[in-house]
Amino acid sequence: MAQTFDVAVIGGGPGGYVAAIRASQLGMRCVVIEKEKLGGLCLNWGCIPSKALLRSAEVYHIIQNASEFGISVGSLKFDSKKIIKRSRDAADKLSKGVQFLLRKNKIEHISGTGVIAKPGVIKVSANGKTQEVKARNIVIATGGFTRSLPGVEIDKKKVISSREALILDKLPKSVIIIGGGPIGIEFAYFYNAFDVKCTIVEMMPDILPLEDIELTKILTKNFKKNGIDILTETKVESIKTNTKGVTVKVSVKGGAAKNLKGDVALMAVGFGGLVEGLGLEKSGVKVEKSFIKVDENYKTNIDGVYAIGDVIGPPLLAHVASAEGIYLVEKLAGQNPTPIDYNNIPGCTYCQPQVASVGMTEQKAIDAGHKVKVGRFPFLANGKAIAIGETEGLVKLVFDEKYGELLGAHIIGIEATDMIAELSVAKALETTPGEIFKTIHAHPTLSEAVMEAAADALGEAIHI
């Protein structure tokens, strides 16, 4: 006998399971259908395990430079298998945590592949058996898949995605990273920390092309200083593999084509929406360039069918998926939730120095017609940064000169990804530079750099 739910979610990632929990809190009967581990791509094969790897790289770097802190260390070595195991353990722990949260909130979890048979009906297949699930509302939250370049197969051996990179027991001696976005940059930092020869190939003029150019220039200089080769305005023409490794043929703007050789090539050119095998074509749900089309309330063109997260397109971020899931189910519950402000979504890259931003870059603000007032404060002048030996980077704030509105905030440096939250709140509250500056920040903290950058925009900075 088919079960009937108020909400059935296909996909147990940060969009799907969060939507289900919020729906349950609002009194709805919910089910989450997930064919793999709960937590989705982010928790199992993205955000969490990759940050665990990066932490190992950070610790290794700190120990290498222990003498700067007056500490002597003997022979230093690393065990790549243990590094990978720690990363997998972190992911497994959180996946089990999601299982607990579903049980706590009385949400049914069905392990299997969900296909929309028709509006209101999902057929779930697992281990050769099929069951039918009925729901008044179906939420598609299947996430994304790793894109490749046209004609290039990710063979998972010599041409790998981030998923394979997360479980390589033995690190390669050299890697060619295709794509200079956050994923490519984070893996470049990780590999470089453990003496893997890294080359980044990026077709845009700069790495992290969505970030403020002032920050990307600082990061580029840092990476090059540490031995990472960066080829920008460079297009991949072909990738050939053999038993020894890969040959990547590239053409540099204004130059001749050349071959790059490495043990592996890591494909990091972005994600598409995971829409295959969901029965969307049969049910009539519109899809465009692998992403499901939805309206402002995340409703597809079919009544009772909704979609959230990476499967509906950029920004492809876990925290955006969660926010969309909460908004959607609150709307379904008859509430009047505040729409998501897509101009106030923080973006983070977890290399060292970290990069974090929210809102417009300085150039985008100018292009949008704003007359801007910019404040900067370097960590080199921050007491906490000096004390902990992490002085590289700065805080940059972009304000509208006429109204004082915070248009964008950009940080490169230690703990930038945590510091950006203050500025996301400030932007949401339409805070002015004077209000940030006059808010007393504890001393000594890295966040004082935010206060001083706001003061700098007013010409009142004390410590520069």
- Catalytic site residue from 61, 370, 410, 443: 443
**Beta carbons of 360 and 368 less than 8 angstroms apart:** yes
Rounded-to-integer distance, Cα 390 and Cα 415, Å: 10
Of the candidates 421, 441, 393, the one whose C-alpha atom is nearest the C-alpha of residue 214 is: 393
User: 372, 366, 316, 370: which is closest to 345 by C-alpha?
Assistant: 316
* Contact (Cβ atoms closer than 8 angstroms) between residue 249 and residue 259: yes
- Within 133-212, where are the H helices? 162-165, 182-193
Distance CA 464, CA 454 (A): 12
If one counts every other C-beta atom within 10 angstroms of the C-beta of residue 363, the result is: 14
Please give the structure tokens belonging to residue 326.
């909460």
The answer to whether the CB of 199 falls within 8 A of the CB of 246 is no
Residue 319: active-site member: no
Q: In sequence order, which residues have a C-beta less than 8 Å from that of residue 96 and are 6 or more positions away?
A: none
DSSP H or E segment with residue 326: helix 318-332
Q: What is the β-pairing status of strands 129-140 and 121-126?
A: antiparallel
Closest-CA residue to 249 (of 240, 241, 431): 240
The residue written with tokens 């071959």 in the block is 259
Strands across the sheet containing 406-413: 347-349, 354-359, 406-413, 394-400, 372-378
Q: Active-site residues: which are they?
A: 443
